[in-house]
């Protein structure tokens, strides 16, 4: 990291400014003033239309099917034979749980460790089955968005709610005594169980399940149609994401950015706000001040104030480096798009190679410090070598087995979703699943043969390696990451190595002689565009939601403006088009908001992965 700082300081002498704003956090008064400025300069009436250049609707020169020899996931899955009956039998599992629940062990003394152990064994047996059912239903819904599959999730949620209501008070009572136990397992497990939440209103439980499914459906099915061809419409993956990564035309990028944020974010808005209100109601009934505090507790990094002070300081430590990177990239973009935006202010969000401007590495070729030593175009190389989707996964698996880790299981190959199906709606956002039953691990990726998916597959398979590691010898209650940030950091550590010059040389993708100082500096620039640029975005994702959960955002007058005030304050990124608080909800255009996935895990993982990487290098004697 020290080398990266020196490189970027040499590259640029610009200053990151949003009206020469200092690096410290804005006071609440200053933040409100920034919101007012955004409203005045970047807002527009609800009925106002944005005009584009006449040729802005020309089709981008990226064919979503332009990769070479892609093997269909159906063919791949059919090559692997697994027992079709070796899966979670939902009806049987619920029947077994119904019988077990009726036979809860008698509790005479909450301070007795033998009693606590018996009760815990009973509780975990039931909970494990419910977990397996939930994982199975979730995967089925995300890979086949139907009303029927959504109803199955809702019905299951209602079915197992009474068990939670029965056991949560008992777990909390046990915890009062076990927190001082010398038995570390009882102390830890009951401590975790006591932090659970449970709604006492069946109507709320059913509604939350319905809203959650609706939000996933909105994101998975939203489309943006061509301006002059309303019959040609595109989902976020693969078309719109790939367009943002490869297109250079300002207006075409603007069309895609505005279209997605309008079609997804605006539709998410009313559903998400109701959803958040119900979740907040639930956690408050369970003793939390807000959903923010419930999320923060998962990290086990102190109370909310201590945790937020820690992440605030981490961001401040990164900001000097980010400032130089931002200024350098802004200068290059100003040269590419003259008179399109203020070259001394925030960068429009659609110009950075990503729909959410969260990572900028797909603009690497436009900002290379040394054009004489361009990094390998991995996408073209993979296509030239006629890599199939299957080849991407086996290449990743080969890496893991080469370092003594696990091969993927037959169920992984037989039951994963490797490509976007044509016969149904799915949520394409890449994810890895541990169904928790008989080595059933799966990936859900709308894979294409390109550099980003090369990284993503290593990342997701890294999650699965972690699943396998703690499934071996660990009881159900401990089959989880140290915290959610550790899980992401392991995947990112692997992904970072997968695209490193050393690994690409080992794969035969790059000649060792080509790796000179200029090549390495260009590679470090790519890493900065991917990792350093990500930090402010990841921070704002939860900074904004924490404010929303704590009722510190005026929903009528600043619901969307607050998002952009924070993006400008912490990252120097502005909305690509005029926005309004009346209808827009741009945070909702990012998967993790409608899916209600906490994002501080990614912010912390962005730091942890370098610590993991350093540790691995030291083990290998490379310091």
Residues in binding site for Zn(2+)? 459, 463, 488
Residue of 356, 360, 145, 144 whose CA lies nearest to 264: 356
Q: What gap in Å lies between CA 562 and CA 578, rounded to an integer?
A: 14
For Cα atoms 607, 319, 618, give the angle at the middle one, nearest 5 degrees: 30
> What's phi and psi for 229, nearest 5 deg?
-150, 85
3-class secondary structure for 125-140? HHHHHHHHHHHHHHHH
Q: Which position among 261, 390, 570, 592 bears the catalytic label?
A: 592
Q: What gap in Å lies between CA 126 and CA 160, rounded to an integer?
A: 10
Q: Which position among 237, 247, 263, 460 bears the catalytic label?
A: 460
Centroid of chain to Cα 493: 15
Residue indicated by tokens 């018996």 = 118
Q: Pairing state of beta strands 441-444 and 431-434?
A: antiparallel
3-class secondary structure for 568-617? HHHHCEECCCCECCCCCCHHHHCCCCCCCCCCHHHHHHHHHHHHHHHHHH
Q: Is 592 a catalytic residue?
A: yes
Residue of 189, 199, 194, 188 whose CA lies nearest to 169: 194
Q: Is 15 a catalytic residue?
A: no
CB 497 within 8 A of CB 523: no
Q: Which residues are annotated as a binding site?
A: 299, 459, 463, 488, 601
Q: What gap in Å lies between CA 542 and CA 527, rounded to an integer?
A: 23
Q: Which residues contact 270 (CB under 8 A, 6 or more apart)?
A: none
Report the catalytic residues. Answer: 460, 592
């Amino acid at each position: 990291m020290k080398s990266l700082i020196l490189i970027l300081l040499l590259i640029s002498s610009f200053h990151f400014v949003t009206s020469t704003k200092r690096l410290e956090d804005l006071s609440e008064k200053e933040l409100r003033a920034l919101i007012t400025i955004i409203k005045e300069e970047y807002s527009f009436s609800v009925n106002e239309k944005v005009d584009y250049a006449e040729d802005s609707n020309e089709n981008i020169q990226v064919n979503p099917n332009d990769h070479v020899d892609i093997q269909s996931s159906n063919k791949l899955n059919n090559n692997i034979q697994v027992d079709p009956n070796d899966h979670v039998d939902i009806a049987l599992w619920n029947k077994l749980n119904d019988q077990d629940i009726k036979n809860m062990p008698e509790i005479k003394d909450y301070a007795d460790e033998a009693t606590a152990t018996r009760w815990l064994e009973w509780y975990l047996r039931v909970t494990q089955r419910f977990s397996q059912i939930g994982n199975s239903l979730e995967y089925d819904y995300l890979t086949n968005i139907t009303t029927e599959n959504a109803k199955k999730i809702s019905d299951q949620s209602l079915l197992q709610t009474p068990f939670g209501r029965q056991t949560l008070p008992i777990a909390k009572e046990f915890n009062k005594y076990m927190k001082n136990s010398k038995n570390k397992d009882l102390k830890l497990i009951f401590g975790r169980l006591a932090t659970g939440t449970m709604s006492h209103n069946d109507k709320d439980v059913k509604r939350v399940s319905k809203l959650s499914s609706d939000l996933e459906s909105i994101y998975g099915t939203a489309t943006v149609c061509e301006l002059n061809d309303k019959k040609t419409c595109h989902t976020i993956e693969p078309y719109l994401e790939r367009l943002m990564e490869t297109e250079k035309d300002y207006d075409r990028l603007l069309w895609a950015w505005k279209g997605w944020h309008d079609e997804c974010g605006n539709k998410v808005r009313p559903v998400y706000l109701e959803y958040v209100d119900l979740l907040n109601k639930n956690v408050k009934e369970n003793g939390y001040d807000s959903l923010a505090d419930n999320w923060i507790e998962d990290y086990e990094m102190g109370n909310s104030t201590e945790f937020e002070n820690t992440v605030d300081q981490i961001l401040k430590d990164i900001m000097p480096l980010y400032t130089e990177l931002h200024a350098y990239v802004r200068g290059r973009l100003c040269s590419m798009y003259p008179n399109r935006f203020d070259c001394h202010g925030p960068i429009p969000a659609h110009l950075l190679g990503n729909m959410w401007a969260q990572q900028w590495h797909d603009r690497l070729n436009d900002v290379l410090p040394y054009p004489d030593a361009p990094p390998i175009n991995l996408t073209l190389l993979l296509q030239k070598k006629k890599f199939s989707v299957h080849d991407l996964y086996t290449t990743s698996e080969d890496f893991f087995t080469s370092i003594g880790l696990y091969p993927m299981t037959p169920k992984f190959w037989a039951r994963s979703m490797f490509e976007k199906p044509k016969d149904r709606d799915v949520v394409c956002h890449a994810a890895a699943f541990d169904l928790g039953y008989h080595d059933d691990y799966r990936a859900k990726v709308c894979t294409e043969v390109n550099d980003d998916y090369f990284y993503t597959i290593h990342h997701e398979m890294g999650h699965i390696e972690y699943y396998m590691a703690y499934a071996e010898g660990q009881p159900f209650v401990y089959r989880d990451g140290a915290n959610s940030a550790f899980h992401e950091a392991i995947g990112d550590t692997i992904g970072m190595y997968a695209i490193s010059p050393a690994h690409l040389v080992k794969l035969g993708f790059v000649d060792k002689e080509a790796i000179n100082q200029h090549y390495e500096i260009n590679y470090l620039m790519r890493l900065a565009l991917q990792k350093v640029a990500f930090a402010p975005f990841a921070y704002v994702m939860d900074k904004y939601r924490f404010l929303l959960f704590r009722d510190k955002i005026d929903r009528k007058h600043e619901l969307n403006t607050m998002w952009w005030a924070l993006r400008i304050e912490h990252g120097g990124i502005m909305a690509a088009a005029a926005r309004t608080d009346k209808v827009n909800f741009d945070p909702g255009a990012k998967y993790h908001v409608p899916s209600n996935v906490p994002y501080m895990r990614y912010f912390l993982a962005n730091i942890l992965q370098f610590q993991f990487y350093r540790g691995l290098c030291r083990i290998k004697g490379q310091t």
